[in-house]
Structure 1
Amino acid sequence: MEGPNNGDFNHFPDDPEFADIIQRAEQAMENGVFPERISQGSSGSYFVKDPKGKIIGVFKPKSEEPYGHLNPKWTKYFHKLCCPCCFGRGCLLPNQGYLSEAAASLVDTKLGLGVVPKTKVVYLASETFHYSAIDRAKSRGKKYALEKVPKVGRRFHRVGLPPKVGSFQLFVEGYREADYWLRRFEAEPLPENIRKQLQSQFERLVILDYVIRNTDRGNDNWLIKYEKPGEGKGERKKDSEWPENCPDSCIKIAAIDNGLAFPFKHPDEWRAYPFHWAWLPQAKVAFSQETRDLVLSRLSDMNFVQDLSEDLNEMFKTDKGFDKPMFEKQMSVMRGQVLNLTQALKDGKSPIQLVQMPRVVVERSHSGSQGRVVTLGNAFTQTFHCKRPFFSSW
């Protein structure tokens, strides 16, 4: 059966700006401006361009994820073949990275964090994507039939390579890997006003990663943008000079590479996949009042968490391999993370104290109106009531 046309699925009526970007990407490919495979990483991911060749997004097809059947990079194939006991991450569902990327963006939006570049699930087809020999042969055959026997060719549902489903994340400009700036800030301490901006942005990254239980956050997959006033306008300052006055957006963080999150259980102790930002000095500072004001009222509202879970359910169930019981386990972990985070914010804890709290899952009861809190490794449980029917809620 033929795959869908790109346009059959790429509808974003609630986000015309994003829809326009996807349309420009499709126009570029129609005009021969194809996505470019990114050399870094262990999967097939691509810089997507507009008709003028400018990079506008990063596309990560499901079929080319680290353990996808069409991953163009052989290292993971040999990993799976030669070391099956260490295959994948035992706490994650395989080949759902594209959903994790889009879901992280959803959580970011719902909490008002503003650190994840907008990411949605899209369908794209390109000559530069990795396809099987059969798909390429079928595509060539249909094009030949259309050219030689138009009456027959017009009966095809579509001509060309089948679109791939994957995550599309808007490209952010002017950012560098966090490690570069963190080393710089360590050597040249920031003025207090800019340090507070960085701390605020860092706390938003912490909240995102903790809620989605990101298992892959190192200093190479989050970015920092810092622009000094006058740079790029013929007034470049010396590297040793920091601005005394800076707007609220002087420093911005971008949390990219969110494909290894939303586990269905907490990672095993022997391979815990820690949050690497927990070793930074910023993690020792208690969460600010600004951060608490931003998210605490939402996170402590069980109905907000329920709405979030339902929105995630709508997104995840679009995958052909969707498993409702496994999704409930994913939400149990997320609700446990939210519960811990809420308590940490109320108690004035720091990010490092947050990650040291006992691991918790919040299970949905079969009664439909109750939930059960389970602290792993302890006998402690707690039952609570929700005002609304307890569907994927906390």
Structure 2
Amino acid sequence: MNSDVDEHTVINVTNNTLPDVCIVSSENQPLLPPSSPGTPNMELADNPHLPPWNTNITDDPEYAEVIKQAERAIEGSILPVRIAAGSSGSYFVRNLEGKTIGVFKPKDEEPYGRFNPKWTKWLHKTLCPCCFGRGCLIPNQGYLSEAGASIIDTKLRLNIVPKTRAVRLAADSFNYPAYQRHLITAKREINESVGRRMHGRRVFQPKGLPPKIGSFQLFVENYVDADVFLKQLDHDSLPEDVTKQFQRQFERLVVLDYIIRNTDRNNGNWLVKYEVKTNSERDMTKNDGSGDEGDHLNNAVTTSTTDEATSTRPAVDIRIAAIDNGLAFPFKHPDEWRTYPFHWAWLPQAKTPFSEEIKSLVIPLLSDLNFVQHELCDEIQRLFSQDKNYDRRFVERQLSVMRGQILNLVQAMRDGKSPFQLVQMPGVIVERLTHDPHGGDVSGPKQFKQIFNDRYPLFSWF
């Protein structure tokens, strides 16, 4: 990487100004349970004796209840349904009533996964490997990227990513190799045969298919593809107060995508909900405490406008849901033949400078060095460290890109730039320096090296 970039400066952490970052102790727990001392970094899904869902999700009772509903439905033969679209195996998960409650994306069914059921992607990878995949991403870590985007969203109080965590699920509708299915069937038949002759005895323990590890994202209702909404917007303009609300939601999408350096954000993988409510319904929503802390700024704009100018007509809620975050957290800026642009940069909303509302929400957080390192970088590192193929060096490179994105974002907001101007800024990497040749932590203040990227993709005009 050093051959492709120019070193800019070396920074010693001595104060609370960007891009310095401080290390503090963490009280949060990783999303996945730690591996045992005897088997470091072992993939948890490979052990059928482990519980069927992540035990650490009990810190979120509502999310844990959804996972339990999914398991009860699978036990009741209401199996997840594979989603036809996309380049990997992903599934709509339902409850006992048949209602979709989540989207599960197994790790081993990702585009590079061994059991990806999409034969077109297998053909693409086999016949044209040079044009397959994304050279700036670590293969088969899309499920971690999905969960990592949810962490960033929660920490920054953006509230646009449906809650996502890494869990384990097993279902007959998942894509398992034929030998596993035949083996399970043979064991069941042998047990049934022995049981008939020996009064219920069995030869094999009753085990089903092994659970798969993957990302589980809560399902959102009454949303439409952004592409559909934007086409409608071209024909029917929104009222001024609704336009402002949509702009605030759009800015949150920009903040999320830029920080995680999403390489796959097009108008088909973010959703919009346009909901008309009576004033009484809006008041009930506020009074029941269902709004998140991050919505206070958003509500402040819409509430004042509604109270002053539109008190006699129904209120409108516009929400954005940022889904499909599996192709983010690159370990380098795109520098090959594809640029992976942010497609929202061509929208009219991207030409408007960042509002004071979004600035007051994220700048105090992203300017806090303890927050950036402890709440963002450390949490992402803990999440990624639970993967079977965890490589600390690559994760540190991913975090270096993320730190650089944060640095650019804060500077652009302070300079009064727009999202369109933000994406035109040169890529920055903020590397953490260590004196340990084995890459371990060192005592004393941490040093960071700020680097500008000077290698750009072939089609940079995109």
Could you state the TM-score of these two structures normalised by the residue count of structure 2?
A: 0.76
Cα distance 1:267–1:39, how it changes in 2: closer, same or farther (>3 A)? same
Deviation at 1:228, TM superposition (A): 2.3
Q: Give yes or no for the alignment of 1:32 onto 2:77.
A: yes
SS at match of 1:3: coil
Deviation at 1:139, TM superposition (A): 1.4
Contact kept? 2:345, 2:419, Cα under 8 Å: yes
| Alignment counterpart, residue 222 of structure 2, candidates 138, 157, 174 | 174
Residues 263-272 or 353-362, more deviating: 263-272
SS at match of 2:417: coil
Distance 1:206 1:247 in 2: 29
Cα distance 1:142–1:249, how it changes in 2: closer, same or farther (>3 A)? farther
Report what 1:185 is aligned to: 233
Return the letter of the residue paired with 1:276.
Answer: H
Report what 1:340 is aligned to: 408
Q: Give yes or no for the alignment of 1:80 onto 2:108.
A: no
Identical residues among aligned pairs (%):
57
Return the letter of the residue paired with 2:411.
Answer: Q
Report what 2:451 is aligned to: 374
Cα deviation digits, residues 48-83 of structure 1 (max 9, x gap) = 000110000000000111121101111111111111
Deviation at 1:226, TM superposition (A): 0.1
Distance 1:249 1:162 in 2: 46
Deviation at 1:44, TM superposition (A): 0.7
Report what 1:322 is aligned to: 390
Residues 295-304 or 197-206, more deviating: 295-304
How many residue pairs get matched? 366
SS at match of 1:220: coil
Q: Give yes or no for the alignment of 1:18 onto 2:63.
A: yes
1:1-394 matched pairs, under 5 angstroms:
3-7=48-52, 9-149=54-194, 153=202, 156=205, 159-229=207-277, 244=310, 250-268=317-335, 270-307=337-374, 308-367=376-435, 368=442, 369-377=446-454
Structure 2: stretches of 5+ with no match in the other structure: 1-45, 282-308, 436-441, 456-462
Contact kept? 1:264, 1:329, Cα under 8 Å: yes
Report what 2:458 is aligned to: none
Deviation at 1:8, TM superposition (A): 6.1
SS at match of 1:63: helix
Cα distance 1:346–1:353, how it changes in 2: closer, same or farther (>3 A)? same
Contact kept? 2:431, 2:449, Cα under 8 Å: yes
RMSD of aligned Cα (Å): 2.0
Distance 1:365 1:141 in 2: 55
Return the letter of the residue paired with 1:376.
Answer: N
Distance 1:259 1:91 in 2: 13
Distance 1:208 1:72 in 2: 30
Return the letter of the residue paired with 2:100.
Answer: I
Structure 1: stretches of 5+ with no match in the other structure: 234-242, 379-394
SS at match of 2:221: coil
Cα deviation digits, residues 69-112 of structure 1 (max 9, x gap) = 10111111111111111121000000000000010001000000
Cα deviation digits, residues 166-196 of structure 1 (max 9, x gap) = 0000000000000111111122111110000
Contact kept? 1:206, 1:351, Cα under 8 Å: yes
Deviation at 1:303, TM superposition (A): 1.2
Cα deviation digits, residues 350-379 of structure 1 (max 9, x gap) = 00010000100000111451101101129x
Cα distance 1:168–1:247, how it changes in 2: closer, same or farther (>3 A)? farther
